[in-house]
Amino acid sequence: MPYVTVGQENSGDIELYYEDHGSGPCVVLIHGYPLSGTSWEKQVPTLLATGHRVITYDRRGFGRSSKPTTGYNYDTFAEDLRALLTSLKIRDCALVGFSMGGGEVARYIGKYGSDGIFKAVIIGGVPPYLLKAVDNPEGVDAAVFEKIERAITKDRYTFFTDFFKNFYNTDVWMGKHISEHAVQASWNVATVASPTATLACVSTWGRDFRHDVSRIDIPTLVIHGDADRIVPIAASGERTAKMIRRSQLYVVKGGPHAVIWTHADEVNSELATFLGKGAAAASISAEK
């Protein structure tokens, strides 16, 4: 299995697990909490079919990556992403981030600029600033994050069970756009995550990404479900799209947080249109 080393904790290397498939314009998919790169399984085939090289990876603390007790902040997450791109010698790519992954997209560009990034996509992302503050009245009250942290500390397995109900809006979409087996699979992936990472990442959701978002100067697609119970669209997607000059907002009607699964066809259509066809797919289309 392929890994890239991004740091060290005591005597052990900190390694990120990644998968690298296809050829053509590169697309890097950055997963949400508390999942892994496998959560993109409905998007990868579409992107490969449209002639893209597709890279997924597991954030530190999640999936098959190392599970250190340090580094759970967006500066480090952005550094990890940069180490991955550098190791794979990726010089031109699109960044696509879901949920927490939207924070990586914003912080990466805010920290390193957009050189080498030709497009960005933020799906159900946490930017620009989820935490309610004096200068951010649209945000979510800090008590919400504190309640989540208490639930995780008490029993993270029960927390995951309750979390995924609102992640997928199972009361609306169970048996229609999501199955019990798919929800169980997500729960299984979540339980593999580091307990430290599971707890530490919650506070990162409320980080202020406004400066980072203001630095995004490339074409950007913002996708968000208007029934998102995890990251409300009014506090996130709508505001992010307004802050980025070269952006477009696509609202998934009735979409929950995890639209990459429940509304995959709709999301994939928008992704394919926005990212375009790679050279291989364009060549095949021309021959038909």
User: 174-226, pLDDT tens digit by residue?
Assistant: 999 999 999 999 999 999 999 999 999 999 999 999 999 999 999 999 999 99
Residue type, 152: I
pTM score of the predicted model:
0.95
Q: For residue 204, give every residue at least 6 positions away whose Cβ sits within 8 Å of its Cβ, in sequence order, or none.
A: 72, 73, 74, 100, 103, 126
Among residues 52, 224, 257, 263, which one is catalytic? Answer: 257
What integer best gives the mean pLDDT of the chain?
Answer: 95
User: 119-167: per-residue pLDDT in tens?
Assistant: 999 999 999 999 999 999 989 999 999 999 999 999 999 999 999 999 9
Give 59's DSSP letter.
Answer: P
- For residues 186 and 161, the answer to whether their CB atoms sit within 8 Å is no
Average pLDDT estimate for 74-98: 97
Among residues 99, 194, 236, 247, which one is catalytic? Answer: 99
- C-alpha R_g of the chain: 18
228 is catalytic: yes
- For residues 7 and 77, the answer to whether their CB atoms sit within 8 Å is no
pLDDT confidence band for 277 (50 / 70 / 90):
confident
> How far is the C-alpha of 195 from the C-alpha of 203, rounded, in Å?
14
pLDDT at 288 over 50: no
92 is catalytic: no
What is the enclosing helix (H) or strand (E) of 198? helix 195-200
Quote the pLDDT of residue 9.
97
3-state helix, strand and coil shares in percent for the chain, rounded to the nearest 5: 45, 20, 35
pLDDT at 287 over 70: no
3-state DSSP assignment of residue 96: strand
257 is catalytic: yes
Among residues 58, 80, 212, 228, which one is catalytic? Answer: 228
Assigned CATH topology for domain 3-278: Rossmann fold (3.40.50)
- For residues 24 and 49, the answer to whether their CB atoms sit within 8 Å is no
- For residues 61 and 36, the answer to whether their CB atoms sit within 8 Å is no
Average pLDDT estimate for 241-245: 97
